[in-house]
Amino acid sequence: MPNHSLGTPARKSERVLLGIPIRVEGKDTLGNAFQESTYTLVVNRSGGLIAATHLLQPGAVIKITNLKNQISCSFEVVTRAARSLSGTPEWAVKCLEPEVEIWGVRFPTRAEEPSQADLIHVLLECQECFSQEMAALTVPQYRRLAAQSSLPRPCPICSATRDWRFGFIEVKVDEVLPSLPAPTGSGLTPQSEADKRRDKRLVVKLPLGVRLPDGSEETSTTENISKSGLCFACSLEMRVGERVYVRVGLDGEEEHRDIPARVMWRRPAKEKGRAFYGLKLERGG
């Protein structure tokens, strides 16, 4: 069904920075058939951003299989990302069968979301069937979830009201993030091998303020957070290893205190002039 947007362009579904192992099959720019095992960098309801060493033809149809759930569907190659810090070409792809929910996460349509200005997007998991949904919660719903670690709401899979909890994603850091040279003299403490390889994160889009040592500031939204770090996109120029200050949370929820954090990695974002940043919090205790 065509998406009739009246005047304003239809907003895309919330993106999730998620490294899902995939297999890509199709033809490269020379018309040669190929198969490649690779991974996603970003997913949303309508598609995502994938890494692939084979050169893809914009407009070409490729088949992507999610190796976690073995679900396949057709995608159209939209464009090659202008820059890739990972060294592997990155490609924006559009899902031709969004109803298949290949990523294993349900992304509700805008029509299903409450029509309120202040919505917190958060990855939830049904405690009965373990299906995941990128849900749009009202602020009171989010506060309740945060306070009680669970929220009753309808599950479309169970066809019943269920308890939902925060859904975690496991970020395999060395697969998803570009291998940047370790900044020298930055005083970074070496992470344990386990920390390096896997990081459990909540996907929650909370208001965030970031301030640089030179006083420049910007507000943004978190992409995901863990105990020790967070990820977001912004247009401030930050260097890997640099120390910045962040403030996360809803107004009045947390005392307004800037938390020192270290820039761990940087990756260009699709939006011009913006980049994704990974920060490690340096909050003592």
Binding site for Zn ion (CB under 5 A): 126, 128-129, 155, 157-158, 162
CB of 259 to Zn ion, least distance (A): 35
Residue with Cβ nearer Zn ion (142 or 164): 164
Residue with Cβ nearer Zn ion (90 or 125): 125
Pairwise CA distance, residues 281 & 258, whole Å? 11
DSSP string, 93-108: EEES-GGG-TTSEE--
CB of 99 to Zn ion, least distance (A): 18
Residue with Cβ nearer Zn ion (41 or 155): 155
Tokens of 162: 């269920």
Q: Give the 3-state secondary structure percentages of the chain, helix then strand then coil, rounded to 5.
A: 10, 45, 45
Residue with Cβ nearer Zn ion (128 or 254): 128
Category of 117 on φ-ψ map: left (φ > 0), alpha (ψ -120 to 50) or beta:
alpha
CB of 127 to Zn ion, least distance (A): 8
Residue with Cβ nearer Zn ion (149 or 216): 149
Residue with Cβ nearer Zn ion (55 or 158): 158
What is the maximal distance between C-alpha atoms in the chain? 58
What are φ and ψ of residue 249, in 5° steps? 125, 175
CB of 76 to Zn ion, least distance (A): 31
Q: Which residue's structure tokens are 């490729």?
A: 62
Closest to 273 measured CA to CA, from 246, 235, 245, 233: 235
Residues 6 or more apart from 119 whose CB is under 8 A from it? Answer: 113, 136, 137, 138
CB of 281 to Zn ion, least distance (A): 33
Q: Which residue's structure tokens are 């914009």?
A: 58
Residue with Cβ nearer Zn ion (126 or 230): 126
Pairwise CA distance, residues 224 & 17, whole Å? 8
CB of 107 to Zn ion, least distance (A): 16
CB of 129 to Zn ion, least distance (A): 3
